[in-house]
Structure formats: structure tokens, C-alpha cells
Amino acid sequence: MLTPLPGVVTPVHAALMRIVAETARRHDIHSLHLEGGTALSAYFLGHRESEDLDFFGDPDFHAAGFVGVLSPVLADSGFSLEVVGSPSAWHARALARHSDSGIAVKLDFGASSSFRLAPREVTTETIEVASYRDLCAGKLHAICDRFEVRDFLDLHAILTRPDPSGAIPHEGEFRDRARAVIRDLMESDPGLDAATIGTAVAQGKGRSIAAPFPLRLLRPFDEASIQQTITLVLDECVELAAPHLP
């Protein structure tokens, strides 16, 4: 069972995870689980603070409907819930505010593919979390969808994650990890190939990544090392794309 690593989320986040999990079970929604950067940092990497909670269910999950049933449950637990934007069946966003502390947490709910690289894991907060493999592939997928410095920070943390002894991986292991994440992403989303992934990753070349990050970093990062990671991932994308080039 996974327990949150120190410093990543607040007790308010943990309470919200429990309430969401309990509400989902009460309504027989068994696919709802935690994904995204918070899941990655809180349960696996512990490298940075996180603000938001991203929950996803299988394609039949109705995001707007779930927010509707969640609101009164949160009210009974000392939270207000403000819906942001126009919720739909496939996506809904809301801001949960704790009345005593004043802490506000953005909640995203979405329906997504039921494909999984590995089984989800159980947490002490009773919400299931996507597997580490799925979270890593999802983070690289995020880089393909947008440019956000946090995604490149997370990718760097994934590839430089110390082994159980605390040792940083050598270059061979580093490259193996990069290639595995790229392949996992292509398996998760057959519409993406190595060349497309490389084009997205190249957006981070020469740009400041750690300095603009607005939250607290829980382990040291330096721009030169992050750029080395980006270069290495690009190298692996080129290698994987080469057999398919004319």
C-alpha cells in the first residue's frame, strides 16, 4: 500500500482524496483513480510540491455527474465546491476550499481510455493511483500535448530517480529508462510515434525549466542536468524513429 511521501501534499489534499474515493465507492464507480503530477510526486518521486488533484475514470465515467454528487458530500466535511468553466460528461473542473484552513485545491475529473500498462495501486488514502509505468508514460504524453515546465521537471525526476540504495542511475540505465518510457507511451497511444514525441520534447531545449517553477522543489535541480536529460531523450527518440524513416 502506497503512502504519500513527505512535503508533497497537505492534509487537506489527503482528506479530499479520501472523500472522493469514498463517494466513488458509494456510487459503484470503481474505475476512478488518481493520475498526473501529484500522483507521481506524492507516491513515487517526492521531488516537488503539487497543488492539483487529477482523477480519471473509464470511458463510461460521467465527470459532471460525479461533481454534482460530490458537492454535498464535501459540504458535510467542511469544504465548499465551486465548479469552474462548463462541465461535461468527459471533463469537469472544480475548486474545493477548506473552510477552516482556507486552503483551496483544484480538482479535475475526466473520462479516459481503460487501457493500462500495469495494474493500479492502492493508497492509504483509499483512492487507487495509476501505476508508475502509466504515470511516466502519461507525463511524456503531457509534453506532447502542451509546454509546461513542470512536465519537463517530472520527466527529469523520472529518469534520474535513485535506485533503492540511493544511487543515481548510470548513463546506460538512464537511456534504458528513457527508451522504456517512450515505448510505453507509443503502446498507450498508437497515434504517437518516436519522431512526434521527439518534436514535442525538443520544445524544452535551451529553455529555463527549474527557475520558473512556481512551487517548492523538494530535491535539487539544475538547468544543465535538465538539459542533458532532454538531449538524451531526443537521442533515444531519434534511435527509435530511425528504422521507420524512408
Ordered DSSP codes for 32-74: -EEEHHHHHIIIII--B----EEEEE-TT--HHHHHHHHHHHH
Which conformational region is residue 105 in: left (phi greater than 0), alpha (psi within -120 to 50 degrees), or beta?
beta
Q: How far apart are CA 34 and CA 64, in angstroms?
A: 17
3-class secondary-structure state, position 242: helix
pLDDT digits (tens, 9 = 90+) for 96-116: 999 999 999 999 999 999 999
Across 164-188, average pLDDT: 92
The pLDDT assigned to 243 comes to 72
Taking the chain, what is the end-to-end CA distance rounded to the nearest angstrom?
48
- pTM for the model: 0.95
Asked if the model's pLDDT at residue 246 lies above 80, the reply is no
Domains of the chain: 11-130 (3.10.450.620), 134-244 (no CATH)
pLDDT in tens, 139-152: 999 999 999 999 99
pLDDT at 30: 95
Per-residue pLDDT reduced to its tens digit, 45-102: 999 998 899 999 999 999 999 999 999 999 999 999 999 999 999 999 999 999 999 9
